[in-house]
Amino acid sequence: MGLAPMDGITDEPFRLMIAKYGKPDVITTEFVSAEGICHGATKPLSALIYNEIERPILAQVFGSDPQSFYKSAFVFCELGFDGIDINMGCPAKNITAKGSGASLIQTPELAKKITRETMRGVSDWAKGKKIKDSGLPDTIIDYLNLHRPKMVKRKVLPVSIKTRIGYNRDCAEEWVKHLLESKPANISIHGRTLKQMYTGKADWNAIGHAAEVARGTETTILGNGDIESIEDGLAKVKEYGVDGFLIGRAAFGNPWIFQVKGPEIMLRDRIKAAIKHSELYEEIFGNKHFVHMRKHLAWYLKGFPGAGEIRKKLMQTSSAQEVKEVLQYAHESDKGT
């Protein structure tokens, strides 16, 4: 079971909450652009900050230029990731318009080339090729020299793919057959087409058929889409013959989701978690963009009767201290809930 990557959500503070409260078997970062890296952009690399307690952790990358995947593989290896996950599922227009994300479903030859180039980068790095010979720009090399962990053992990292069941119709079997040719370690399949975006229901039958295609190969298949709990995920593993599953949106405001039969979560636990998350956010990013933290605060208090007023106040907070003040008041007036 793994945490699905979600841009704007699965940042370092969120992932630390997940690792602390109910650790899944694998965690993935938000996506970074392979082409952006090759143009020397270092700011987006903040998405790649991680903590040892998150391991195994995969870096997710998107793009459409195979050469950029080759070069950026060196970055993920140097930063000590446990694997590289290629995004072939994002439906956002700004991504697909450039041939990246889910639009790769329409260009399977390019998709295979991208996977192979990423693997070639990983393999060259494992064999000892230096980053100065990788073709990466100086800004990225300087960044790596500053941020590289002390001890990174050169080894061949697994390369995986995250995708959807099709572009505008279910073509999961055919698409997975293509992807298997480049022998990725894993393919995670979200049971919707690009056209569906996030509407309708995830088609688990389509995921199951794709899993059949991969059976007997060395590539594992993780199913994804609309899973509400671990029990739900495990039932789907049995029913659809996948090797495991990813959970995305059900983790919003619910870092306990990966606990199997954990204790009942009370309002006071949610308050504590919201405060902890705010503190982590501030520790890691400062409070300049605290506005990004507010949606998490609303999720922590979702569904509690009478929490509407508190949520409104939380939507105006700009620091962990302000969150504490609002929530400690709520906690005091709601002891024992």
Applying CB under 6 A, the site for ligand FMN has a residue count of: 22
Q: Which of 22, 24, 80, 89 binds ligand FMN (CB under 6 A)?
A: 89
> DSSP secondary-structure letter at 182?
T
Instruction: Compose the 283-322 pattern: x for residues touching ligand FMN by CB under 6 A, - for all others.
Output: ----------------------------------------
Residue type, 307: A
Whose CA is closest to 69, among 27, 124, 28, 26? 124
Among 90, 122, 211, 293, binds ligand FMN (CB under 6 A): 90
Residue 220 has which token pair?
């594992």
Candidate segments 18-26, 111-119, 221-229, 281-289, binder of ligand FMN by CB under 6 A: 221-229
Please select the residue that binds ligand FMN; options are 11, 24, 26, 31, rule is CB under 6 A: 31
Cβ neighbours of residue 85 closer than 8 Å, sequence gap 6 or more: 5, 28, 58, 59, 60, 61, 159, 160, 161, 162, 188
The 8-class DSSP code of residue 309 comes to H
Q: Long-range pairs for 324-327 at CB < 8 Å and ≥24 separation?
A: 324/275, 324/278, 327/271, 327/274, 327/275
Binding string, residues 225-264; x marks residues near ligand FMN by CB under 6 A: xxx-------------------xxxx--------------
Which part of the chain contacts ligand FMN (CB under 6 A), choosing from 13-21, 84-92, 130-138, 267-275? 84-92
16, 19, 22, 30: which one contacts ligand FMN (CB under 6 A)? 30
- Angle, helix 291-300 to helix 267-285, in steps of 10 degrees: 170
Q: Is 9 in the site for ligand FMN (CB under 6 A)?
A: yes
b or e along 151-171 (b: 16 or more beta carbons within 10 Å of the residue's beta carbon)?
eeeeeebbbbbbbbbbbeebb
Structure tokens at 290: 């605290």
Binding to ligand FMN in span 163-192, by CB under 6 A: 190
Find the shortest distance in angstroms from Cβ 95 to ligand FMN.
9
C-beta closer to ligand FMN: residue 83 or 326:
83
Binding site for ligand FMN (CB under 6 A): 4-9, 30-31, 60, 87, 89-90, 162, 190, 224-227, 247-250
